[in-house]
Amino acid sequence: MDDLVRGATGAQPVDRFESVRDFLAYLDLVEEELTRPDQDEIPDLLTAAKGAVLPDGWQVGQVLGKGSTARALLMARDGDSRVYKVALSDAGRARLAHEAAQLKNLRDSHIVRFIDGPKEVGDRTVLILEEAGEQTLGQYLRREGRLAIGDLEALGDHLFQAVGYLEGEGIWHRDIKPDNLAIRELNKKGRRLVLFDFSLADTANRATEAGTQHYLDPFLGTDRRPEYDAAAERYAVAVTLHEMASGELPSWGDGMVEARLLDPSEQLPQLAEDSFDPQLRDRLVPFFGTALQRDPAPPRSRTCHGPGPMCSAPWMSGGRRPRQTRWAHCRSLRPMPGRCRPPGWEPAPRWSQPGCRLARCPPRSSSSTCPPLAS
Q: Does the structure show a pLDDT above 50 at 302?
A: no
The pLDDT-based confidence of 339 (bands split at 50, 70, 90) is very low
The C-alpha atoms of residue 19 and residue 54 are separated, in whole angstroms, by: 34
**175 three-state secondary structure:** coil
The two domains 37-130 and 135-352 share their CATH topology (first three levels equal): no
For every residue of 28-46, DSSP letters joined together read: HHHHHHHHPPPTTPPP-TT
Of 288, 259, 295, nearest to 272 by C-alpha is 288
CB of 59 closer than 8 Å to CB of 76? yes
Look at 52 and 35; give whichever has higher pLDDT. 52
CB of 120 closer than 8 Å to CB of 213? no
Of 179, 178, 184, 173, nearest to 109 by C-alpha is 184
Q: Does the structure show a pLDDT above 50 at 346?
A: no
User: What amino acid occupies position 249?
Assistant: L
For residues 81-93, average pLDDT: 95
For residues 286-314, average pLDDT: 58
CB of 137 closer than 8 Å to CB of 181? yes
Q: Which CATH architecture has domain 37-130?
A: 2-Layer Sandwich (3.30)
Share of the chain above pLDDT 70, in %: 76
For residues 52-57, average pLDDT: 92
pLDDT of residue 344: 41
Phi, psi angles (nearest 5°) of residue 96: -65, -40
Exposure on the CB side of residue 9, measured as CA atoms within 13 A? 6
Look at 187 and 228; give whichever has higher pLDDT. 228
pTM: 0.70
Q: Which CATH architecture has domain 135-352?
A: Orthogonal Bundle (1.10)
Q: Does the structure show a pLDDT above 60 at 295?
A: yes
Q: Does the structure show a pLDDT above 90 at 21?
A: no
Look at 272 and 335; give whichever has higher pLDDT. 272
The C-alpha atoms of residue 194 and residue 177 are separated, in whole angstroms, by: 12
**195 three-state secondary structure:** strand
pLDDT of residue 40: 59
**117 three-state secondary structure:** strand
For residues 94-117, average pLDDT: 95
The pLDDT-based confidence of 141 (bands split at 50, 70, 90) is very high
pLDDT of residue 24: 82
Indicate the average pLDDT of the chain. 78
The C-alpha atoms of residue 68 and residue 41 are separated, in whole angstroms, by: 27
Share of the chain above pLDDT 90, in %: 54
Q: Does the structure show a pLDDT above 70 at 299?
A: no
- Other Cβ atoms within 10 Å of 169 Cβ, number: 15
Of 244, 284, 237, 240, nearest to 140 by C-alpha is 244
Look at 354 and 204; give whichever has higher pLDDT. 204
Q: Does the structure show a pLDDT above 70 at 10?
A: yes
pLDDT of residue 132: 95
Lowest mean pLDDT among 111-125, 171-185, 213-227, 356-370: 356-370
The C-alpha atoms of residue 203 and residue 209 are separated, in whole angstroms, by: 10
The pLDDT-based confidence of 221 (bands split at 50, 70, 90) is confident
DSSP assignment, residue 53?
B
Of 176, 297, 194, nearest to 242 by C-alpha is 176
Domain spans, the chain: 37-130, 135-352
Exposure on the CB side of residue 333, measured as CA atoms within 13 A? 18
Dump strand ranges (E) for 45-90. 59-66, 70-77, 80-87
pLDDT tens, 151-173? 999 999 999 999 999 999 999 99
β partners of residue 185 = 191
pLDDT of residue 214: 92
For residues 343-353, average pLDDT: 37
pLDDT of residue 35: 65
The C-alpha atoms of residue 115 and residue 308 are separated, in whole angstroms, by: 36
For residues 254-260, average pLDDT: 73
Exposure on the CB side of residue 332, measured as CA atoms within 13 A? 23
Q: Does the structure show a pLDDT above 60 at 257?
A: yes
Q: Does the structure show a pLDDT above 90 at 355?
A: no
Q: What angle do CA 277, 163, 310 make, to 5 degrees?
A: 50
CB of 257 closer than 8 Å to CB of 269? no
Phi, psi angles (nearest 5°) of residue 77: -160, 125
The pLDDT-based confidence of 85 (bands split at 50, 70, 90) is very high
